[in-house]
Structure 1
Amino acid sequence: MYRKHLPSAPSILIILMGALGDVARGLCIVSHIKNHRPKSKISWLVEPKWAEVVRFHPAIYRLIVFNRPRGLPAVKDLYRELSEENFDITLDLQRHFKSGFFSILSRAKRRVGFHRRNAKEFNWLMNNEHIDYSPGGLSKLDLYIRFTRHLGLPEPKSLDFGFSSLDIAAVRPHISAQLTESFVAVVMGSSWDSKDWVFEGYRQLVESILESGEIGVVLLGDRSQTEPAEQLTRIIRHPKLVDLVGKTSLLELTAILKAARTAVGPDSGPGHLAGAVKTPYVSLFGPTDPTLTAPYGSEHLVVQVKPECSPCYKRKCPIPDRWCMRQIEAGVVKAKIDQALLTSTCERFDTV
């Protein structure tokens, strides 16, 4: 039950510091609140690694960065910065002890968090309002929308993540010049070793995409994937294969995903960025559950070979060679990409 609805011009703090996929999905509630309360001032507390994409959202009034590596001095700086604003409401989307503590530091009269049975590390004790209990089976996106429902806002008819003006040609013209007119973005690797697809799968997939000569491939990922990406480009020498692994900022990566016809990769943050920029994303699932974390708008593009041990949610697979990911065949992934390409072609044709 709502304690009271949202005033006409509230000052709101959103606490969602990471991970990337969570931050990307959470951006939609900023647009939803602003659509119904245009005079609201929305601040966002985030860690430095993801600040760039939050800063880009045109409806963010103030970005507050918690520089966690600095330790206690960072907490003191954060307290000082939070004290500069008089927040009416804090939305704690993180549900951990740290976010709950920062919720208290915000001094907002209304501090909204997760239900006691969905929160962790006594987070619920530090917030004085809570969204309804979720018995499970809901994605983070659905859970975040519950916060706006708690504030009395109607269900959103569509979701806007704030990237409508993002253009790679404006963000980084040099990178834009390397891209072919039509390309598939291939995301290599994730933050979990157990989620990563095998090198041979990537090789077969990239070769099959480039085979027609009509569409290019852009390799994306962080620096940890530099070596396999370079190995891939050495094996597959093709003018339409572009290696940008470890060579882009987070916002540039987002812009490239937006420019792509479709994208493919493991269950990871870039997949949710693709969902936020409305690019179809073929997601490769093993140790995690696609009903909870499939990218927005691409739930039908999941590829998964589901053994009895899945989902295990283990960062390191106890079975040699990541069995569940190794069983994913390049041909099956390519078929999903073809499906996504056909859909994106029809959508572009419809808009002409």
Structure 2
Amino acid sequence: MPEHPQHIAILRLSALGDVCNLVPTVRALQRRWPEARMTWIVGKAESALLEGLSGVELVVYDKSTGVKGMRALWRRFADTRFDVLLHMQQALRASVLSLGLKCDLRIGYDKARAKDWQHWFTQRQLKPHPKAHVLESFMDFARLLGVEDTHLDWSLPVPEAAFEEARALTGDAPYLVISPCANPRLRNFRNWSAEGYAAVIEHAWQRHGLKTVMSGGGSPQERDMGEQIRRLTPNVEIIDAIGRTSLKGLLALLDRARVVIAPDSGPVHMANALGTPTLGLYATTNPDRAAPYLWRDYVVNRYPDAVERYLQKSPGDVTWGTRVRHADAMALITLEDVVGHLDTLLADTAEPAARMESSDEG
């Protein structure tokens, strides 16, 4: 194990939420070895999110380039030898990519957490950590290297131009961000209903005076969801930012929000990284493993119910990380679940003066 690594390589290509959960590990490594050079091999979209991350050289590997892109990356590092490679991407493509990188030590997941035979491509594996949150699994790499100071620090860079982009959409009044859709993938099933979101938007406006900003990518599924929500809320001000922001602009939008509501997706982890109060909606994925880390106590958690109903098992009988791939699972989340958690989250994160006024009114 290197005591004073001079050059650390991180291999983690995707996804947006995961790279956000990885940043505290990067910061912990930087605190331990501030003079060490750090190179992070990352995906194209994820690089745009992380651009400007202090002390880190971001090197993009676009998986759509396939073998051609791999060879280009190998040529780029032909004369480079890393002291240690932290292989944090559990995918066969990433493992093959790692073979073209010269390093003294390759560290990967322990056999229980490894997927796609990743442990065959590494020399040292993490110590077992059953039922670890994704963020903690990443931090285990720093722990294995002997890092003791593991306090959480993100310090994600958000340029002023991004804040200007966000302000142009929202103005200065307080707002709620709803990012209604997870990444549109086959059998993902992480999205709640348009009717549910519409009712929450009505509640946030009438009860808390919060207008809503809808965010998301520009896919047809996301645009369609946004249109459905708007049709269901004709009397409430909604700012539709779906497909209208850059990734840095989205960071700024989330940073300025009073609260963010979203299913298990990139935005809940982006908001979490910024310290914005975050309400995650979880039924198909286990929030104990993948909730917004700082706001785990406020997650709407119907995962145990989904496991029992659609997998006919108890939560303790399924492997860690099991997903409930059923189209009706998110329907287990009720409006009462969401507005109740929202009211609690807003009360718990109110300014002290506002809390006192609310108490006096009660």
1:238–1:32 distance in 2 versus 1, CA, 3 Å: farther
SS at structure 2 position matched to 1:83: coil
User: Partners of 1:57 and 1:72 in 2: how far apart?
Assistant: 28
Tell me the C-alpha RMSD between the 2 structures: 2.3
2:177 to 171, 181, 185: 185
Partner of 2:246: 249
User: Partners of 1:172 and 1:57 in 2: how far apart?
Assistant: 17
The answer as to 2:191 corresponding to 1:196 is: yes
Partner of 1:334: 339
Q: After the TM superposition, which residues 158-307 of structure 1 pair with which residues of structure 2 at under 5 Å, given as runs? A: 158-163=151-156, 165-166=157-158, 170-179=161-170, 180-191=172-183, 193-212=188-207, 214-224=209-219, 225-237=222-234, 240-305=237-302, 306-307=305-306
The answer as to 2:142 corresponding to 1:148 is: yes
Letter in 2 for 1:181: A
SS at structure 1 position matched to 2:300: strand
Alpha-carbon shift at residue 212 of structure 1 (Å): 4.0
Letter in 1 for 2:343: D
Q: After the TM superposition, which residues 25-36 of structure 1 pair with which residues of structure 2 at under 5 Å, given as runs? A: 25-36=21-32
C-alpha contact (below 8 Å) 2:194/2:228 kept by paired residues: no
The runs of 5 or more residues in structure 1 that have no matched partner are none
C-alpha contact (below 8 Å) 1:282/1:302 kept by paired residues: yes
Alpha-carbon shift at residue 63 of structure 1 (Å): 1.1
2:66 to 61, 67, 71: 71
SS at structure 2 position matched to 1:218: strand
1:86 to 54, 77, 81: 81
User: Partners of 1:325 and 1:147 in 2: how far apart?
Assistant: 33
SS at structure 1 position matched to 2:204: helix
- Give per-residue Cα distances to partners, 1:74-133, cap 9 Å, x unaligned: 111111122253321110111333222333322010111112332222221221122112
Of the structure 1 ranges 219-228 and 207-216, higher mean CA displacement relative to structure 2 is found in 207-216
1:343–1:27 distance in 2 versus 1, CA, 3 Å: same
User: Partners of 1:144 and 1:327 in 2: how far apart?
Assistant: 31
The answer as to 2:38 corresponding to 1:42 is: yes
C-alpha contact (below 8 Å) 1:100/1:124 kept by paired residues: no
Partner of 2:358: none
- Give per-residue Cα distances to partners, 1:31-85, cap 9 Å, x unaligned: 111112111111111111211122231221x111112212221111111122253
1:94–1:347 distance in 2 versus 1, CA, 3 Å: farther
Partner of 1:125: 120
SS at structure 2 position matched to 1:29: helix
The runs of 5 or more residues in structure 2 that have no matched partner are 356-362
Alpha-carbon shift at residue 238 of structure 1 (Å): 5.1
1:340–1:56 distance in 2 versus 1, CA, 3 Å: farther
1:349–1:124 distance in 2 versus 1, CA, 3 Å: farther
1:109–1:296 distance in 2 versus 1, CA, 3 Å: same
C-alpha contact (below 8 Å) 2:198/2:230 kept by paired residues: no
1:42–1:348 distance in 2 versus 1, CA, 3 Å: farther
The answer as to 2:327 corresponding to 1:325 is: no
Of the structure 1 ranges 271-280 and 230-239, higher mean CA displacement relative to structure 2 is found in 230-239
1:88–1:238 distance in 2 versus 1, CA, 3 Å: farther
- Give per-residue Cα distances to partners, 1:259-285, cap 9 Å, x unaligned: 111111111121111111111211111
Alpha-carbon shift at residue 178 of structure 1 (Å): 2.6
Alpha-carbon shift at residue 315 of structure 1 (Å): 7.2
User: Partners of 1:349 and 1:28 in 2: how far apart?
Assistant: 32
SS at structure 2 position matched to 1:56: coil
SS at structure 2 position matched to 1:63: strand
Alpha-carbon shift at residue 348 of structure 1 (Å): 9.6
C-alpha contact (below 8 Å) 1:194/1:314 kept by paired residues: no
Alpha-carbon shift at residue 140 of structure 1 (Å): 1.1
Count matched residues.
337
